[in-house]
Amino acid sequence: MSSKKNKNLKNSSAKIPKPKASSQEDMQVKLLRDVVANVAGPEAVGIVDLLSGKKNVNEFTIAEKLKITINQTRNILYKLSDEGLVSFVRKKDKKNGGWYTYFWTLETGKSIENLRILINSKIESLEKELNKRKQDRFYHCTTCDLEYNEEDALQNFFSCVECGGVLELKDNSAVIDNLNREIENLRRDLAVVDEQHGMIVKKEGAVIARKARAEERKKKMEREKKRKTREIEKKKEAKATEKGPGKKKPAEKPGGKKVKGKKISKTTSKKNLSGKQKSASSKKKKMKRVKSSRRGRK
């Protein structure tokens, strides 16, 4: 029996559901609705549901889903854009006469940051009011339910400007309690907002770091490619310098001859040869005449 109980306990512990990530997303959506309603009014809250978790949503799609005109949609989006809660890109629609169409994205981090600033501002103003209630005295008319600070009450001789009744010193304890409760509630809200803001900043930081690493890898590859190209060029230059500048042999003209560094054309060489042949033949003829004359004398 004990072993069966232990098995059941193990199985029951294994079936305990883990908290869903969507609960965090739901909290973010709730906070985004608050800040959008504060900036653009309650009619703009539906934009959060349309843009949350998406990028570059067509403004005509937003108008269609919200069932309002495109001009009303743009007015809301422009108000949010002025506070940095949404961003847009525009593209030219060549099919529809070249008009620009805007595509909108909800800036979650900026929106939550805006809400943090708003809550902190409210807390500061309430704390000032609380200190004032603790330090100053206030008077009120029980008939008209009008309140006066001490300076105004003194100027009116502690009488009501409406009915002329005598002003009474007001007990601020109830007001102080209400202010303390409001401040405490806002601080709790601020803690939730800070937690969500920290998560968003961490997520966005991881995305930025990932993009930076990818960009660095790309630059490194480009540098490596350039380095290899330079090395190849240097090797080519080194081979060219080792071979030295090539000397071309002067092209000989057809029929040309070289005599002691001088170039003689074919025609001049033929003339020289014919002159030598003539002189040789004339010498032979003279020798024959001399021999024949000697024979005649004998």
Q: 11 in a domain, yes or no?
A: no
Structure tokens at 64: 């269609």
Residues 187, 93 within the same domain: no
Q: Which of 128, 127, 119, 123 is nearest to 195 (CA)?
A: 119
pLDDT one-digit tens code per residue, 73-108: 999 999 999 988 999 999 887 777 778 889 999 988
Q: To 5 degrees, how large is the angle CA 123–CA 124–CA 127?
A: 85
Structure tokens at 193: 């907002």
For residue 128, is pLDDT > 90? Answer: yes
Tell me the C-alpha distance between 39 and 78, whole Å: 11
Q: 237 in a domain, yes or no?
A: no
Residues 134, 212 within the same domain: yes
pLDDT one-digit tens code per residue, 1-27: 444 444 443 444 333 333 344 566 677
pLDDT one-digit tens code per residue, 181-199: 999 999 998 888 888 888 8
Q: What is the pTM of this model?
A: 0.56
Residues 6+ apart with CB under 8 A from 176: 130, 133, 134
Helix (H/G/I), strand (E/B), else coil: 155: helix
Beta strands in 176-287 (DSSP E): 257-259, 262-264
Q: Which of 84, 106, 128 is the last residue of a domain?
A: 106
Structural domain for 78, as ranges? 22-106
What's 75's domain CATH number?
Answer: 1.10.10.10
Q: 255 in a domain, yes or no?
A: no
Question: Total structural domains in the chain?
Answer: 2
